[in-house]
Amino acid sequence: MGWTETHRYYAALREVEAALDRGQPLPWRPGYAQIFGSRDGLLLALSRRWRVLVEAWDDGEPWPAAMGELARAHPGLVAALRRYGYVPSVAAVPAGAA
């Protein structure tokens, strides 16, 4: 993936997550098909984003507290992953944290 495609990919992910944080349903635009292939591809990309966030999160707090804080920082992402059955990647997050 070249710079242009990488930029489009991450710009689209940020756009989708912002919509999810505003409480909108999973957005889909024709241009997303070129980036993610399908809605399932978009959900896989969102799941991968969550895993990267979890792996990168290290603020010295105990793990459950840190996960709750991370989930509160990304409420739309966590809610969408739960809603669409991508639970394994958010299973450690307490239900009230997002």
Q: Give the amino acid at 41.
A: G
> Dihedral through CA 4, CA 15, CA 59, CA 94, nearest 10?
-140
pLDDT at residue 68 in the model = 81
pLDDT at residue 90 in the model = 52
Cβ atoms < 10 Å from Cβ of 8 = 16
Q: How far apart are CA 38 and CA 57, in angstroms?
A: 29
pLDDT at residue 56 in the model = 82
Nearest to 92 by CA among 82, 83, 84: 82
Please, is 44 exposed, middle or buried when counting C-beta atoms within 10 Å of its C-beta (0-12, 13-18, 19+)?
Answer: middle
Over the chain (98 residues), the average pLDDT of each successive run of 10 is 91 97 94 95 94 78 74 92 75 50
pLDDT at residue 98 in the model = 47
The H-or-E segment that residue 10 falls in is helix 3-21
Model confidence pTM above 0.75: yes
